[in-house]
Structure 1
Amino acid sequence: MSMRHQITAGFMPLFDSAVLVAASELGFAGSEGVDLTLHRETSWANIRDRIAIGHFDLAHMLGPMPLACNLGLTPLASETIVPFSLGLGGNCVTISNAVWTGMAAHGAEPDLDPARAGAALRAFIRDRAVAGREPLRFAVVHPHSGHNYELRYWLAACGIDPDRAIEIVIVPPPFMADALATGRIDGYCVGEPWNSAAVAAGTGHIVTVKAQIWRNSPEKVIGVRKAWADENPEALAALLRALHHSARWCQDPANHAELAAVMAQPGFLGLPPAVQMPILTGHLQLGGGAELDVDDFFLPFDKAANFPWKSHALWFYTQMVRWGHVAHTPDNLAIARNCYRPDLYRSALKPLGVALPGANAKVEGALKVATAVGATGAGLVLGPDGFFDGQIFDPDEIDAYIARQKSVRTEA
């Protein structure tokens, strides 16, 4: 009888933990000889610190967080690697009804268009400044998060300085909707279901989504303690295969009702399945009776959603540099480049004969439509992956990209 692998993992109550949860609850981990024990946490800081001190072998993590760990930006330094991505997209920007009313007066429409929403928000912010009112307060889940960087990217591209025109604070995901309802914040960027929860409560309005700011873009990952990965290569490979099977199951619409029921359990999200369906179907209630279907709102498997692209890590790194979180040096760039590990992903999944990208990185923002690309094992389709402002990120031209972003002027 082969030895079973004991793995302990942390997760946050967000729907994009579903691939990890399903692997544990629906037998995918067990089929690969993995006894997977999950621990729900209340903040991303707890996830980060419990990885660092060895409570967890791996965890559901924010895409930029392992980079922050490796770049020495965390209180407890712990070398962390990313051999698997948990999906693409899934976040929204939600604002209070009062802010939506102000934006609507400046041309905002319930269409999730980032450029239109950004222009309206910029005008509303100017009105408030002229009236001598305090800056709007937006919440994100962690300084080193895709939420923080995509919110900042969107605002800056629309002429709003996120460091001067608004205030950005940190609030754990499960508290976002309540903080909005009580007036402690005016808006937030978070993953589902905490946007739909505010809409369902009648206290918030979704104004744009990650899938519109940057199509098919990275979000959560599996962060693994490098020391554990080095000591347990077979256990890690078995888990990656289990996660692959789980992600494919999660993507299938035939399984969505069962998946929502699993995630509704008190130990995971503890919210009704109906509140979770928007992320699975892409059919969003925006607030005020408006609703919209969003293409590729959240992909747990399709379009190489689980591949740990080095270009994703490097884009996060450019945003860390842009917003003063880390200095741009050759050493720091090398650390960022080595954080995501497609080699481990390929090694684990190659025996399955599945589609594996032939490259470790790609130009981000270049694909305007879904495109067949070179892969081993099977066919693979990527994209579209455009940024809403038309920018392109070439991971081989990082210096130029950083310089170009620093030159972007924000006026509001």
Structure 2
Amino acid sequence: MSMGHQITAGFMPLFDSAVLVAAGEMGFAAREGVELTLHRETSWANIRDRIAIGHFHLAHMLGPMPLACNLGLTPLASETIVPFSLGLGGNCITVSNAIWAGMTAHGAEPDLDPARAGAALGALIGERAAAGREPLRFAVVHPHSGHNYELRYWLAACGIDPSRQIEIVIVPPPFMADALAAGRIDGFCVGEPWNSTAVAAGTGRIVTVKARLWRNSPEKVIGVRKAWAEENPDALSALLRALHHSARWCQDPANHGELAAVMAQAGFLELPSKIQMPILTGHLKLGGGAELAVDDFFLTFDKAANFPWKSHALWFYTQMVRWGHVAHSPENLAIARDCYRPDLYRSALKPLGVALPGANSKVEGALAKATAVGATGAGLMLGPDGFFDGQIFDPDKIDAYIAGQKAG
């Protein structure tokens, strides 16, 4: 009798590891014949390095991280593919109380509106520069992260040059709230629960969220060592089915209490359930008594949240080009396009008869409202997926999109 598939995976203590954690803890992996061993890590750099040297078969990863590996942007990297997305949204941009006070003096409101918040921040930055003060320091979790690219996208769209008018530093997610409280940084972009942690401590104010910067946008993925995937196609397929069932279970509000209890355990988040409720419900405490419910704040399953859209990879690629992380060339474009693997997702899930998108790529930012789209299996709803500045990303017109982007 076979022992089943042995799979070792790394994850970071962020709520958006939930689908991977629940696959192990709630028995979805075991049901598919997978023995899943999870290792908690302290930084994204550790995850990257441990995949490269073969400690992990796969890991909870930032959406752009596998691209960075394949494009040769990391000193220690093995070719990595993305056959599954762990969810949409879940990040916020949080600032210190002092910066929030400065922003409110320039018209900011506790409404999470990216344009209003960005205009206020820009005015504050101008005022500080005129007074000869040091630039503000914002933290992101990793250079090749959705956080870095969405923070820069927001600032640039609001007329702030993120390369010159602020300083961007790298801080691991679990240290963000403490770094803000200690005055080492003025603001940060991080996944939950580390924004809500700063708000609960009384040291941070949430000014906008990923779900308002780009609705239903990609965040964490499953990054898999390509060599392992090619040698173990059945094991990978079995895991993808387990993750699919886990993601559906995580999305159901009836399971949120149980999921929060699992994530609160030692070895996972080790934070009380109440700090996790904002990401589960979309009901955020912003700081100073302000609260707001955000549509589609974080999705683990709905709106094709698990489908590894090539257009998501390609948008990340355009941002890597924009901020000088990689040169735009036909070779690099092909590497980015080949990194996300909807073909593997489809072949694993086809036997289940679930809704699968008909396309591998889509125009991003074009859906003003939730829209039914063509799919095999059951019906599928996508969107809304707008960028806050009204831009559209057509993956078939990448050269024009890159040419049209301001790098500052």
Alpha-carbon distance in structure 1 between the residues aligned to 2:226 and 2:181 = 41
What's the CA shift for 1:309?
0.1
Q: Deviations over 1:69-103 (max 9, x none)?
A: 00000011310000000000000000000000000
Counterparts of 1:225-244 in structure 2, within 5 Å, are: 225-244=225-244
Counterparts of 1:20-169 in structure 2, within 5 Å, are: 20-169=20-169
Letter in 2 for 1:64: P
Alpha-carbon distance in structure 2 between the residues aligned to 1:288 and 1:136 = 22
Alpha-carbon distance in structure 2 between the residues aligned to 1:259 and 1:105 = 40
Counterparts of 1:283-298 in structure 2, within 5 Å, are: 283-298=283-298
What's the CA shift for 1:106?
0.3
Alpha-carbon distance in structure 2 between the residues aligned to 1:51 and 1:358 = 31
Letter in 2 for 1:112: L
Alpha-carbon distance in structure 2 between the residues aligned to 1:3 and 1:356 = 31
**3-state SS of 2:339 partner:** coil
**3-state SS of 2:222 partner:** strand
Letter in 2 for 1:159: G
Q: Is the 8 A contact 2:320 2:326 kept in 1?
A: yes
Moved segments of 4+, more than 4 Å? none
Alpha-carbon distance in structure 1 between the residues aligned to 2:245 and 2:103 = 43
**3-state SS of 2:405 partner:** helix
Letter in 1 for 2:219: E
- When normalised by structure 2's length, the TM-score is 0.99
Letter in 1 for 2:247: A
Alpha-carbon distance in structure 2 between the residues aligned to 1:391 and 1:361 = 17
Alpha-carbon distance in structure 2 between the residues aligned to 1:52 and 1:315 = 24
**3-state SS of 1:55 partner:** coil
Q: Deviations over 1:253-311 (max 9, x none)?
A: 00000000000012000100000000000000000000000000000000000000000
Alpha-carbon distance in structure 2 between the residues aligned to 1:32 and 1:68 = 31
Structure 2 match to 1:262: 262
- When normalised by structure 1's length, the TM-score is 0.98
Structure 2 match to 1:217: 217
Q: Deviations over 1:340-386 (max 9, x none)?
A: 00000000000000000000000000000000000001100000000
Alpha-carbon distance in structure 1 between the residues aligned to 2:318 and 2:185 = 28
Q: Is the 8 A contact 2:48 2:77 kept in 1?
A: no
**3-state SS of 1:338 partner:** helix
**3-state SS of 2:6 partner:** strand
Q: Is the 8 A contact 2:65 2:144 kept in 1?
A: yes
**3-state SS of 1:108 partner:** coil
Alpha-carbon distance in structure 1 between the residues aligned to 2:328 and 2:151 = 21
Structure 1 match to 2:182: 182
Structure 2 match to 1:173: 173
Q: Deviations over 1:82-133 (max 9, x none)?
A: 0000000000000000000000000000000000000000000001001110
**3-state SS of 2:68 partner:** helix
Alpha-carbon distance in structure 1 between the residues aligned to 2:350 and 2:324 = 39
Counterparts of 1:268-307 in structure 2, within 5 Å, are: 268-307=268-307
Alpha-carbon distance in structure 1 between the residues aligned to 2:38 and 2:74 = 23
Letter in 2 for 1:23: A
Structure 2 match to 1:397: 397
What's the CA shift for 1:250?
0.1
Alpha-carbon distance in structure 2 between the residues aligned to 1:154 and 1:128 = 20
**3-state SS of 2:36 partner:** strand
**3-state SS of 2:395 partner:** coil
Structure 2 match to 1:253: 253
Counterparts of 1:201-212 in structure 2, within 5 Å, are: 201-212=201-212
Alpha-carbon distance in structure 2 between the residues aligned to 1:24 and 1:131 = 54
Alpha-carbon distance in structure 1 between the residues aligned to 2:333 and 2:73 = 14
Letter in 2 for 1:339: C
Structure 2 match to 1:4: 4
What's the CA shift for 1:3?
4.4
Letter in 2 for 1:151: L
**3-state SS of 1:59 partner:** strand
**3-state SS of 1:133 partner:** coil
**3-state SS of 1:275 partner:** helix
Letter in 1 for 2:24: S
2:400 corresponds to 1:387: no
Alpha-carbon distance in structure 2 between the residues aligned to 1:402 and 1:333 = 12
**3-state SS of 1:396 partner:** helix
Q: CA RMSD in A?
A: 0.6
Alpha-carbon distance in structure 2 between the residues aligned to 1:331 and 1:314 = 13
Q: Is the 8 A contact 2:248 2:300 kept in 1?
A: yes
Structure 2 match to 1:331: 331
Structure 2 match to 1:194: 194
Alpha-carbon distance in structure 2 between the residues aligned to 1:357 and 1:190 = 29
Q: Is the 8 A contact 2:90 2:298 kept in 1?
A: yes
Alpha-carbon distance in structure 1 between the residues aligned to 2:283 and 2:156 = 28
For structure 2, the residue ranges without an aligned partner over 5 or more in a row are: none
Letter in 2 for 1:316: F
Alpha-carbon distance in structure 2 between the residues aligned to 1:369 and 1:77 = 39
Letter in 1 for 2:9: A
